[in-house]
Chain A
């Protein structure tokens, strides 16, 4: 579909990332995004290494949130178990990396851990979607998977629960997980604290742009159509079961990427990543930020986790109560979330600002419409 907001600089570069399936297709939006990324990039410079250390964790959470916004907001699959892929990737990285802590080994660990979460998501998705599991049952099943992993990993405290040198450690968790590194043999880079922050930020931005291109592609339309009405979409010749499987698998891979970055930042992973609180957080971020907005969910994840962190620092135990209240308030006041509501305001403002708006018919009809 040709996007007619093709004025403004870099229109040709922007085109693959724009379309009616994403909010924000104007030059102003991209400028704002660039500023936001620049601010995030400046954080370690402004606030020191400690900000990088804490910030990288938030950014890894944002990846986890985005994986849910993608599958839930764009394809209607509400997974309550995105943390399963997040945590499995973390454990997988730890197991490989602790055993082969060379540059090559760490590179293999990175690839293997994302591969494990991807295959895990594909297998779970295959049995769910081809088994005819739909709607709320997907939600329940994915939550159960996360909780089973929680329980299972929790009972691995004994010495017999080890893979080579890597002890799973039960509720004490797996410690001594090495930092991220990329390379072969003796050539490569070990990614330190500061580097890790930028790698995570880069992964977040790249994933965001990749998903934007994907949801505005033909496949993206098929996803949205599947979300809106699966039976109808099948009647247009789409293999909706396969579409859901692909989407769910991509979501698992992104959650896994987040999990690896999370685990290597903390050099530690424990079963609480699979717990019910952790499992609920992505759902909260996507609900508050707006599940149909990848960026809204990212913003909500960063903001909520930042507030949670500050409250925890000050010794307050009210963080979860606050998050819960926020969820209730947002869902009651704006069920679609903050970002879609903001987007509506912006559209209204633009219409008011321009008293003779281009009529909503061709060729200006492809003016963005929030869905």
Chain B
């Protein structure tokens, strides 16, 4: 299922800053403190192009903080973030997005007061010319099964439709890296399967690298190339899902008695 097995990569090209330019994302010694609390601690994380990585860990493990550091919504206390071969640690959110990092929030955050088409226009006008808006909007809505909702106010969509619209909006930015915070929280089994298929497609067909925070281990098993387990703000384990699931230590801190 994995399209980009990290083990078959050629020797990484390391530039003078030490950033590995063959990797879409790399963090080094990333740390974030809130007052006396260290939410993210010395995280060295790498992601290959087109890889779908799931981020799991108990509550308070620092998953969302880590994502917010990547998007630039939080500034790190220490450490660096390299994206596509460049140091983006000091860049504000909107410039990171301009370079192809897209984010889907935990709570569906579509523009509830705007119609579905207007929602899509916000990201679209950043990347395509005005005369292409309608065609691109149709294309994306078809793909995400929302064409009939073109003129519907987004606040009136179902939860699953909002999630799809939001992923569609993130994809409208034509990203190289997409960050998703619990994309299937609160969704039905069918809706979850839909999203799983979509995410796999986005990684395999569009070649977008994804980082997905997820609690649902079955969902993680369906979609992930590799899994990173965070605990106490640091990387606790990293590897293929089978390995992670079999790890007794991971079971102890995270998976609990069900698994």
Residues from chain B with Cβ under 8 Å of A228 in the complex:
111-114
- Complex: how many Å from CA A364 to CA B151? 8
Residues from chain B with Cβ under 8 Å of A221 in the complex:
118, 121-122, 125
Is B130's CB within 8 Å of the partner chain A? yes
Residues from chain B with Cβ under 8 Å of A222 in the complex:
122, 125
Interface string of A206-233 (1 = CB under 8 A from B): 0000000000001001101100110111
Contact check, B152 vs A360: say whether CB atoms are below 8 A apart.
yes
Partner of A236, one of B73, B112, B123: B123
Contact check, A218 vs B125: say whether CB atoms are below 8 A apart.
yes
Whole-angstrom distance between the Cβ of A48 and the nearest chain B Cβ: 46
Contact check, A367 vs B151: say whether CB atoms are below 8 A apart.
yes
Is B228's CB within 8 Å of the partner chain A? no
Contact check, A2 vs B94: say whether CB atoms are below 8 A apart.
no
Contact check, A237 vs B113: say whether CB atoms are below 8 A apart.
no
Residues from chain A with Cβ under 8 Å of B153 in the complex:
369
Contact check, B150 vs A361: say whether CB atoms are below 8 A apart.
yes
Residues from chain A with Cβ under 8 Å of B117 in the complex:
362, 365-366
Partner of A240, one of B94, B121, B149: B94
Is A12's CB within 8 Å of the partner chain B? no
Residue of B nearest to A362 (CB): B150
- Complex: how many Å from CA A300 to CA B233? 55
Is A234's CB within 8 Å of the partner chain B? yes
Whole-angstrom distance between the Cβ of B186 and the nearest chain A Cβ: 19
- Complex: how many Å from CA A119 to CA B114? 33
Residues from chain A with Cβ under 8 Å of B113 in the complex:
228, 371
Is A235's CB within 8 Å of the partner chain B? yes
Chain A binding surface SS class = loop
Contacts of A344-371 to chain B: CB distance below 8 A: 359-367, 369, 371
Is B144's CB within 8 Å of the partner chain A? no
| Partner-binding segment picked from B2-10, B102-110, B203-211 | B102-110
Whole-angstrom distance between the Cβ of B96 and the nearest chain A Cβ: 8
Residue of B nearest to A236 (CB): B123
Partner of A237, one of B109, B112, B126: B126
Contact check, A232 vs B150: say whether CB atoms are below 8 A apart.
no
- Complex: how many Å from CA A134 to CA B103? 23
Partner of B126, one of A20, A238, A362, A369: A238
Chain B binding surface SS class = helix
Is B148's CB within 8 Å of the partner chain A? yes
Interface string of B127-156 (1 = CB under 8 A from A): 000100110011000000001111111000
Contact check, A236 vs B111: say whether CB atoms are below 8 A apart.
no
Residues from chain A with Cβ under 8 Å of B105 in the complex:
232, 235
Max count, chain B CB within 10 A of own CB: residue among A221, A360, A365: A365
- Complex: how many Å from CA A365 to CA B115? 9
Is A239's CB within 8 Å of the partner chain B? yes
Is A13's CB within 8 Å of the partner chain B? no
Whole-angstrom distance between the Cβ of A366 and the nearest chain B Cβ: 7
Given A1-B130, A229-B109, A232-B109, A361:B122 Cβ within 8 A: no
Whole-angstrom distance between the Cβ of B104 and the nearest chain A Cβ: 9
Residue of B nearest to A234 (CB): B93
Contact check, A2 vs B122: say whether CB atoms are below 8 A apart.
no
Given A362-B134, A365-B117, A366-B117, A225:B122 Cβ within 8 A: yes
Residues from chain A with Cβ under 8 Å of B122 in the complex:
221-222, 225, 233, 236, 238
Contact check, A235 vs B114: say whether CB atoms are below 8 A apart.
no
Contacts of A277-326 to chain B: CB distance below 8 A: none
Is B97's CB within 8 Å of the partner chain A? yes
Is B71's CB within 8 Å of the partner chain A? yes
Is B173's CB within 8 Å of the partner chain A? yes
Is B169's CB within 8 Å of the partner chain A? yes
Contact check, B115 vs A20: say whether CB atoms are below 8 A apart.
yes
Contact check, A237 vs B94: say whether CB atoms are below 8 A apart.
yes
Given A229-B109, A232-B105, A361:B126 Cβ within 8 A: no
Q: 4 tightest CB-CB pairs across the interface, nearest first?
A: A360-B151, A365-B151, A237-B97, A365-B150
Which residues on B are within 8 Å of A, measured CB to CB?
Answer: 71, 73, 92-95, 97-98, 102-103, 105, 109, 111-115, 117-118, 121-123, 125-126, 130, 133-134, 137-138, 147-153, 169, 173
Which residues on A are within 8 Å of B, measured CB to CB?
Answer: 1-2, 20, 218, 221-222, 224-225, 228-229, 231-240, 359-367, 369, 371
Known pairs A232-B105, A236-B169, A360-B150 / 16 extra A-B pairs, C-beta < 8 Å: A2-B134, A222-B125, A228-B112, A228-B114, A231-B73, A234-B93, A237-B95, A239-B94, A359-B151, A362-B138, A363-B134, A365-B117, A366-B117, A369-B114, A369-B153, A371-B113
19 pairs, A vs B, C-beta closer than 8 Å: A1-B133, A221-B125, A228-B113, A232-B105, A234-B73, A235-B97, A237-B95, A237-B98, A237-B123, A240-B94, A360-B150, A360-B151, A362-B117, A362-B151, A365-B151, A366-B117, A369-B118, A369-B151, A369-B153
